[in-house]
Amino acid sequence: MASDAATPFTSSTTAKYSPHTEALYAKVKDLIPKVEWAAYAPLIDDINLLKRERNAVILAHNYQTPEIFHGVADITGDSLALAQRAVDAEADVVVLCGVHFMAETAKILNPERTVLIPDPEAGCSLAASITGQDVRDLRAKYPGVPVVTYVNTSAEVKAESDVCCTSANATEVVESLGCDRVIMIPDEFLAGYVARNTDVEIIPWRGRCEVHEQFTAQELQSYRQQFPSIVILAHPECPGDVLDEADMVGSTSGMIRYIDEQRPEQVALITECSMSDNVAAEFPQTRFVRPCTICPHMKVITLEKILNSLQTLRYEVEVDTEVSERARRSVERMLEVGRGERG
């Protein structure tokens, strides 16, 4: 556990940035104007230097901006992937560039490490839509019905659940329980998607992702009119009519895998805005139509805040031991089902 929170660090933001940082720009030059990169590069240099001094690993969600995702992240991916891969990282400090429930999950799976989130106000509409008491009330209303909880929830909610799921393995997890009825929380659109793919009766909660709920079927239809060869990949947190219009429905990891395997000429990712930017840097031969729906919570994480977090070892994420142990069991039960693929 790191304990030198008072250790001073002098920023070199006025110095010329390193050749390594200049080399990074080659990957993102089509995403970030050079004038912006000139402001980012000294911060990137400082962060990459300081994380080595702190023996820190930086985790960045797929929805982080390109200067974070490609500039300072050691591990990238979706929420569960980040927490899982952090387990194998030889680091004292984990900096989670995402939202608060993700940092909690990282702490649950890495209880002996210092887990930091650069801005504790980075929230999530899904995680905020349900509490532990809500889950207890559901159990009282539907006695004996198991609760399947999306990983996009707080530790408290995970602790009150039977098993977690992701957007990729939700149907598999539900069917693994061998029950006729299942409570599925908190995303009503993900629950609806699962209901269409299983004979199990799904009892949903009325939570929604404020990013994915904004997409419409008409929007997707307009893309097809403008770009006849387009392939549309949609996240299952989107409304049902949007999923009906898509060529493929899947998690963020599933989308990336699809592009890698199928190499479409033109694609639209119906999910958060920065996802397209980050994936486009990996697949320059694919043309991306970029619907830009931004997660305001993800965007409160900045390079300046990441640097400050490493300098001061703030803001540390703690989870009550009893809550953490129960939440961990829900996550581990999911991983025992099969893929444990991320959401």
Domain harbouring 67, CATH code: 3.40.50.10800
- Say yes or no: 114 and 192 in one domain: no
**Final residue before a domain boundary, out of 189, 208, 227:** 208
Is 336 among the domain residues? no
Whether the predicted pLDDT of 3 surpasses 70: no
DSSP 208-242: --TTGGG--HHHHHHHHHH-TT-EEEE-TTS-HHH
Q: Which tokens in the block code for residue 196?
A: 């269409």
Least confident of 77-91, 188-202, 258-272: 77-91
At residue 286, what are phi and psi to the nearest 5 degrees?
-95, 135
Is 137 among the domain residues? yes
Rounded Cα gap, residues 273 and 277, in angstroms: 7
- Say yes or no: 41 and 116 in one domain: yes
Is 5 among the domain residues? no
Is 202 among the domain residues? yes
Is 181 among the domain residues? yes
Crossing angle (nearest 10°) for helices 100-109 and 79-88: 30
The domain tally of the chain equals 3
Cβ–Cβ under 8 Å, residues 168 and 336: no
Q: Which tokens in the block code for residue 40?
A: 């980012």
- Say yes or no: 37 and 80 in one domain: yes
Whether the predicted pLDDT of 79 surpasses 90: no
User: What are the angstrom distances between the C-alpha of 208 and each of 25, 39, 239?
Assistant: 36, 36, 9
Q: What is the pLDDT of residues 312-340, one digit of tens each?
A: 999 999 999 999 999 999 999 998 885 43
Is 156 among the domain residues? yes
- Say yes or no: 248 and 218 in one domain: yes
Q: What is the pLDDT of residues 218-238, one digit of tens each?
A: 999 999 999 999 999 999 999
* Structural domain containing residue 269: 212-289
**Final residue before a domain boundary, out of 208, 241, 274:** 208
Is 225 among the domain residues? yes
Cβ–Cβ under 8 Å, residues 241 and 258: no
Write down the residue that tokens 């995403």 correspond to.
31
- Say yes or no: 141 and 72 in one domain: no
- Say yes or no: 91 and 31 in one domain: yes
Considering the entire predicted model, what is its pTM? 0.90
- Say yes or no: 113 and 185 in one domain: no
**Final residue before a domain boundary, out of 162, 192, 208:** 208
- Say yes or no: 116 and 23 in one domain: yes
- Say yes or no: 88 and 171 in one domain: no
- Say yes or no: 99 and 142 in one domain: no
Rounded Cα gap, residues 205 and 17, in angstroms: 49
- Say yes or no: 37 and 87 in one domain: yes
Is 240 among the domain residues? yes
Whether the predicted pLDDT of 63 surpasses 70: yes
